A and B are shown apart, each in its own frame.
Chain A
Amino acid sequence: MGFADIVRRGGTVLDVVAMSARMRIFELLATPATLVLTVIQPAVLLLVVLLTGEGLTPAGTSALVTGVLLTAFWGATVRGTGAVLARDRAQGVLARTVTGTMDARLVVVGKGLGAGLLCIGQIALTIAAILLVLRPPMTVWHPGWLVVGLALALLSGATVGLLIACLFVLTRYAMQISSVLIYGVYVLGGMLIPPEMLPGPLGWLSSVISLHWLQEFLTGSATGQVDLSSLSMAVVLTAGYAVAGSLLFTRMVTRARSEATLDLV
């Protein structure tokens, strides 16, 4: 394969990812629940923590804002990306997606990125609007590190989305699983409740959640202490989610083809 072929192939891959992302954004914009998850929920969460918190320090406010951003993003990610494959199957497009010559995982990751982009954008705008109105004392993130953190959150959301999307197709208990994932991570992820306040045997769970490390990183970068080890942990966990999601997707398609347990058409 020559350089031109590689460039052409890369262009097609990017096209598929971009088109899938765009498609998911359109779908989510037409879904009222998106507004609840990306505007109402973060607004309520932020108002609760800001209006009830007493003696908030600038660093503490930044930590809370980061926590709200990531918490809301997590909820929107599970709902926005988890249902991707199940919805595709219901629409009858999954068969064509998995029998294309392009890797179908690109479609799922693309849709995850689209969902994440929309969600994180709307959540960030909601938070910014509230902060502008309330003007609490807070430290400001370094723009570069903020972009790095949010980009990684986006990527992490897309890869975990691939994992969850497969899980949702493979089980009939998608709703229950999504609730466990959303609220489990809310409680155990360390984004709203500091991990050291969790019961001892459960404290370690936050260490396998990439958003926990991203919060550490973003909070640190807001207070001038850039924690690259947290960033590295988030990168490693994101890669781990990607590998697990990829393997699960392959397993799902193989099982569908061999055992005919999943009707993809």
Chain B
Amino acid sequence: MADGAGAGVCVAGPRRGNVEGIRKLSTSRPAIEVVGVGRTYGSGAKLLTALDDVSFTVGEGEIVALLGANGAGKTTLVKILSTLLLPTAGRVSVFGADAVDRVKQVRRQVGVVFGGDRGLYTRLSGRENLRFFGMLAGVSRAELRSRAPAMLDRVGLVDAADRRVETYSRGMRQRLHIAIGLLPRPRVLLLDEPTIGLDPAEAQRLRGTVSQLRRDGVSVLLTSHYLLDVERLADRVVMLRAGEVAADLPLDDFASFAGYAATVTVTIRHPLPELEPLLPAGVDVVARAETVEGTTLELRLPSWGGGMFGQLGSLLDRADVTDVQVRAARLEEAFTSFLARQA
């Protein structure tokens, strides 16, 4: 997607920013270092390998997305990083502190947002939950006094702060989880499905918050099935498959697994059977529909540059075009394509 920076109307800005981020981070020390990590469950005939020789790093201020199909080992890895689970092989460290031997030091630096409906005291208010978990994370009383209201404001829960959590919607609970995760000012944040249950506006606000964290130097390991989160936030993608690292790539390189840069959907008033042979090389017609309004063609563009635009534009100038829609290749298409190739 090197020449595709201008393609995605919605992603061009953030992606360009991410690339700069990677350049900046290339000299920074790793915030998270995962070296040859393995984890098995059970024993004997019932031995199940959840992770096998997994290695990768996350730089300071970098946002890395951990992707994989269900059962790929993402949750196991997040549990190991959050010190909930011990690895059976390999080493995990956070800013040099080993997650097995120096647990407390790791816990001081890592914030975790597990997400979902659970993980909160439902009979207590949002403020009480925030204060309690803040205290458990080692936030001092003085800091709690100043930061708890600020966090509630940041996630938009000021008005509901004194209501019992059992009255909260799923999105409000999720926002409270995020406030709890951010309250101790972690240097590393593990985000597990952060936008689950959030409406589009809330999800966008959360993405803004995470972007701000990157600017503050916080490293983020993001696990999400909503690939829009990954597309908007991540610098890099680590793809797990059957417990192994199947890919560790910059986001744009991973996105190229979709096999095309963009889709152009054109509606032409009159059928033009001769259009297809005239299309620039590499442009495929992937769908064609005849309706009373005319013919709708879905074209996939291999790259996204001035030349391609020019050729396509001059071609469409000859037709009676009634509608054109351009959409950048989505990350989920890259994800699906990658999994299919691996299979």
Would A12 and B121 count as touching, CB distance under 8 A? no
Q: Give B82-98 as 1s and 0s: 1 = Cβ < 8 Å from A's Cβ atoms.
A: 11111000000000000
Within the complex, which residue of A96, A98, A104, A258 is in contact with B86, where a contact is CB–CB below 8 Å? A258
Within the complex, which residue of B84, B140, B180 is in contact with A12, where a contact is CB–CB below 8 Å? B140
Q: Count of B residues near A, CB < 8 Å?
A: 31
Q: Is the interface of A mostly helix, strand, loop or mixed?
A: helix
Q: Give B50-91 as 1s and 0s: 1 = Cβ < 8 Å from A's Cβ atoms.
A: 000000000000000000000000000001001111100000
Within the complex, which residue of B107, B120, B123, B141 is in contact with A30, where a contact is CB–CB below 8 Å? B123
A99 and B116 in contact, given A23-B132, A27-B123, A93-B121 (Cβ under 8 angstroms):
no
Complex Cα spacing A92 to B122, Å = 11
Would B136 and A257 count as touching, CB distance under 8 A? no
Would A101 and B136 count as touching, CB distance under 8 A? yes
Q: Which residues of A contact B118 (CB under 8 A)?
A: 91-93
Residue in A closest to B39 when the chains form the complex, CB atoms: A260
Interface residues of B in 99-122 (CB under 8 A from A): 104, 107-108, 112, 114, 116, 118-122
B309 within 8 Å of A (CB atoms) = no
Complex Cα spacing A255 to B317, Å = 70
Would B114 and A257 count as touching, CB distance under 8 A? no
Would B137 and A101 count as touching, CB distance under 8 A? yes
Output the least CB separation between A111 and chain B (Å).
11
Would A260 and B107 count as touching, CB distance under 8 A? no
Most buried by A among B112, B131, B136: B136
Within the complex, which residue of A16, A95, A264 is in contact with B135, where a contact is CB–CB below 8 Å? A16
Residue in B closest to A19 when the chains form the complex, CB atoms: B132
A93 and B141 in contact, given A15-B135, A260-B41, A264-B84 (Cβ under 8 angstroms):
no
Q: Which residues of B contact A11 (CB under 8 A)?
A: 141
- Sorted nearest first, the 9 A-B pairs with minimum C-beta distance are A92-B118, A100-B136, A101-B138, A92-B119, A257-B86, A258-B86, A102-B136, A101-B107, A19-B132
Residues of B within 8 A of A (CB): 41, 79, 82-86, 104, 107-108, 112, 114, 116, 118-124, 128, 131-133, 135-138, 140-141, 180
Residues of A within 8 A of B (CB): 8, 11-12, 15-16, 19-20, 23, 26-27, 30, 91-93, 95-102, 104, 107, 256-258, 260, 264-265
